[in-house]
Structure 1
Amino acid sequence: MRSNPESSIPSIKVLLIEDNPGDARLIQEALSDTEQVHFEVKWVDKLDSGIEWVTKDVFDVVLLDLSLPDSHGIETIISLREQAPIVPIVVLTGLDDEQVAMNAVKRGAQDYLIKGQVNPTLIMRSMRYAIERHRLQDELYNLSIIDELTGLYNRRGFFNQTEQLLHTFGEDNKGFYIIVADLDGMKQINDSFGHHIGDLALIDTANMLKETFLNSSIIARMGGDEFIVIIPQKKEEYVDHMIIEQELNTKMKTRLTSFNLSAGRVFYLSISLGASYYNPDDQVTLSELIIQADQRMYTHKKEKMR
């Protein structure tokens, strides 16, 4: 829900996917009569058209019929959610089937309304509740995948996002680099200055990684002083991950030198990096590649201690 720039009345942008012109007109007229909320309605009569609109524009809610010329039943919800997972969906259909209704909710619909059994007030209330429930669900989900201290993905968020990346990149036969990073001397910082300073060092590390890996898809804190970064392969030609690792360690060293000279911290910030490469054609698991990058990172850490 957003504010209407022309007034103080809240505004809701609705994508109506309905193939019956009469039903569509009734819904549009009903939504235009309310004084509490301004509804901006975009009407399309096919699922394909709805998917096209929802992927190129921003909508607060989708009002969806399950009997369309190009889609029918639960598959309609599944297809829409695959393309627009963050938009709440309210089903408004003539299909009075309790099992279908239950499946619709399981598949991500926020509500299931039967034509002929609802009035404009109920439709409007359902959409507003759907938007609020969806917002709360998003907040809870984000809390479950975000590290509270650094604002990066946590371990669960990392594997969730990487699974999606593997699916996308696997289809295009693309690979990516895996960078494991570790904050050096974390125990000494905690022991010498206290855990609140240790937390500050972790936050500084997270910020340093975000600045260094601006074009990365995923940056996560895996726990403690361990971080991980996924960098998509930019070119068709493969660049050996050892070369990438050397370049990144040099870049990180330069950034850390500048930071330590200007930040005024009581500790010296130091970060070690190790790299590996995911190739969808190789029979090597993500976990194995993370271990490889982790071993490379510890090699660099030991070299600093000599």
Structure 2
Amino acid sequence: MSDQPTVLVADAHESADRIAEEITRDGMTVERVDGLEACLRRLDAGGIDVLLLALDGEPDALTAVRGHPSDLPVVTIAEPGAQQAETAMHAGAEDRITRGELPDSMVPRLLRHAVERHHLRRELRALEIVDEATGLPNLRGFAPIAEHHMRMADRMGAQVVFVFVRVSDAADVVEVAGVLRRAVRDADVPAHVAPDTFCVLLTGNARGAEAAVLSRLIEAIAVTNARPDRETSLSLDVGSSLYDPQHPLPLEDMLTEASRRMSEGSKT
């Protein structure tokens, strides 16, 4: 990939012309296709770095694209309230746009960030800096991704939310890792950062996602504990930490603070 990504815009909406102009003005190369079949054919040819995919009228578009052999970030765009838009992040989109809520001039920056995040994920897989027991990134693998998001937050004046989960019994870490995978969205980044502690970096509209992820986590734990073959219940300490560019803290300090807050907080 060059410094100037090639963007495939699969969107027939009238606003797509303006968005394409903004992307071109930003220095990126833009290609246009109309319809899911044309999109998949263009992906077959290669050379695309990021896909801007409209979900209007194509309910299975994201599923089809995610099933394609090409490994590239997908940013979805849809009308306000569209069901597909609400589930896009959980289904594997790198980010999402709701029509009318984000200025066209901001789309190029969002696409560049999607490419950067995806590139970091690929580097993580290539380096195999993962926890052998759980298959999740360890702290060494998680730290570059978290710090990258923190730097982006500094530039954009945004906040980043981290959810922390501490396991009461270290023997349960593998099972808890599975619970976390079911609870978080595909675009979020769960990691096993200490022998008894997991951390999840929430991406996209992280502040709004925190309550949803915690709710799914509680539900997933309840389902696990209700299994008839379980002799003991999972017991977890759950907490969250907010990275605020106005009052920045190093990741190590955030981990320490989260551990302290979990010790004072409630069990799930």
The two structures have a TM-score, normalised by structure 2, of 0.50
Q: Which has the higher helix share?
A: 1
The two structures have a TM-score, normalised by structure 1, of 0.44
